[in-house]
Amino acid sequence: MSVTERPQNAQRSVAEVALAARIREHLRALTRFPDRHVGGPGNRAATALFAEQVAAQGFAVRVTEFPCTEWEWGDVELEVGGERFDALAGPYSLGLTAEAPLAVARKVEDLEDARIAGTVVLACGGLAAGQVMPKNFTFYNPESHKRIVRALEASGAIAVVAATGRDSQMVGSQYPFPLFEDGDLEIPNAYMKDIDGERLALHEGERVRLSIDSRRIPTTAEHVVATLSGSRPGRIVVTAHIDSRKGSPGALDNASGVAVLLALAELFQGRSEGFSVELVPFNGEDNYANPGEMMWVAENEDRFDDIVVGINIDDAGQVGTVNHVSFYQCPAEIEEAARAAMAAHTSTTGGPQWFQSDHAIFGIYGRPAVAIASSDIEGFMAKYAHSERDTIELADADLLAEAARFIRDFIGRLGT
């Protein structure tokens, strides 16, 4: 089935139409701010909305405040040899005003050269081919990334300017993309287009004037967990991250997933049989420190064994696609229950595995997981994700309503 071939039901019930209408309302409420970045007003409004809505459906709600870092920034001024270059402040960068020689680093060994000390480093080529994970990131942080951060912080360089192209798997549609997005990195940083970096590299050895207007501000945000107790031991955890990238309304990434959680709370109103259901709008999937996820993991260190399955919704409901369901470490009975539930939903089908979201957490801790996403997730990531283009017009409320009904039916089959 191609991503544009979404089957159409001849008729929809009044209840199905009403559920889709309420999902549209949730999407409008969640995207009314420019973004929902952790620590910002849109994020606080979204978590408050979620807590209020699920409590009204009979879920027990726990709200926990956590510290986080807000980021404010302005212009970057970069000049060398009488030529000015366009650049942007790296997310959560420290501020800087300085003048120093320009050094060019194309590989990590260049950062480990003593001649880097006291320079402004231009990171380009292979060194800047993909975003470097934050130095304290827990869930995925390869040694090659750690080596770059260690070398840079030990180099004595006064700042780094990265010349980048595209990295849709990690940062979506951004061009250029920030090589570093890390509130723990202790070196000022900026980024620019790869084509501009080629011109800047011609000035290697010359003195560059660099000013980065950027500051970190301590603040707080909230993490919400909603639980509906069941009649038998074990729980099913359903997740969707509630935050978005700074500057992005995050309609598909991931207001659509949160809208599915809210619809699911409604569908489960009054339910008392079967496994307990825990709805978790993770607050931080698009944040460098994953604060909400880290808090939930800490709260569950001794409780992972009672998770029957984790179900994660992210980047779902794109217009012109279908729902793809993928499986991770699932025993036969869980996958069979999901596939049986799919049979009743014509726009929901099996899809390939992908790992760039919160369902990976369940795998890290040895629990089965199921992910629900758009069948054109790669196209979405390349064209819209993490940008101002991720707007509500991309979201199909009928498709999201079907995702909620599928999850309800899947969980119902697991509880029998």
Listed residues 205, 232, 259: the one ending a domain: 205
Q: Domain check: are 278 and 227 in the same one? A: yes
Strand partners, 280: 239
Beta strands in 284-400 (DSSP E): 307-313, 323-328, 348-350, 369-374
Q: Domain check: are 87 and 26 in the same one? A: no
**SS3 label, residue 265:** helix
Q: Domain check: are 288 and 382 in the same one? A: yes
Q: Using one digit for the tens of pLDDT, what is the confidence trace for 59-105?
A: 999 999 999 999 999 999 999 999 999 999 999 999 999 999 999 99
Look up the CATH number of the domain holding residue 256.
Answer: 3.40.630.10
Look at residue 278 and tell me if it is in a domain: yes
In this prediction the pTM is 0.93
Look up the CATH number of the domain holding residue 197.
Answer: 3.50.30.30
Q: Domain check: are 126 and 198 in the same one? A: yes
Range of the domain at 386: 14-69+219-414
Q: Domain check: are 246 and 387 in the same one? A: yes
CA–CA separation, 297 and 171 (whole Å): 24
Listed residues 156, 171, 205: the one ending a domain: 205
Instruction: Please choose, from the candidates 250, 375, 259, the residue with its C-alpha nearest in 3D space to the C-alpha of residue 319.
Output: 375
pLDDT in 10s for each residue of the chain, 416 residues: 333 444 444 477 899 999 999 999 999 999 999 999 999 999 999 999 999 999 999 999 999 999 999 999 999 999 999 999 999 999 999 999 999 999 999 999 999 999 999 999 999 999 999 999 999 988 888 999 999 999 999 999 999 999 999 988 777 888 999 999 999 999 999 999 999 999 999 999 999 999 999 999 999 999 999 999 999 999 999 999 999 999 999 999 999 999 999 999 999 999 989 999 999 999 999 999 999 999 999 999 999 999 999 999 999 999 999 999 999 999 999 999 999 999 999 999 999 999 999 999 999 999 999 999 999 999 999 999 999 999 999 999 999 999 999 999 999 999 76
Q: Domain check: are 255 and 335 in the same one? A: yes
Look at residue 112 and tell me if it is in a domain: yes
- DSSP H helices in 155-221: 168-171, 194-201
Look at residue 77 and tell me if it is in a domain: no
Look at residue 2 and tell me if it is in a domain: no
Look at residue 6 and tell me if it is in a domain: no
Look at residue 123 and tell me if it is in a domain: yes
Listed residues 170, 205, 240: the one ending a domain: 205
CA–CA separation, 180 and 313 (whole Å): 26
Q: Domain check: are 113 and 187 in the same one? A: yes
- DSSP H helices in 140-218: 143-154, 168-171, 194-201
> What are the two backbone dihedrals, phi and then psi, of residue 263, each rounded to the nearest 5 degrees?
-65, -40
> What is the CB-side half-sphere exposure of residue 77 using CA atoms within 13 A?
8
Beta strands in 172-320 (DSSP E): 189-193, 207-228, 235-239, 276-280, 307-313
Look at residue 357 and tell me if it is in a domain: yes
Q: Three-state SS across 4-42?
A: CCCCCCCCCCHHHHHHHHHHHHHHHHHCCCCCCCCCCHH
Q: Domain check: are 187 and 250 in the same one? A: no
Q: Domain check: are 163 and 260 in the same one? A: no
CA–CA separation, 103 and 119 (whole Å): 6
How many domains does one find in the chain?
Answer: 2
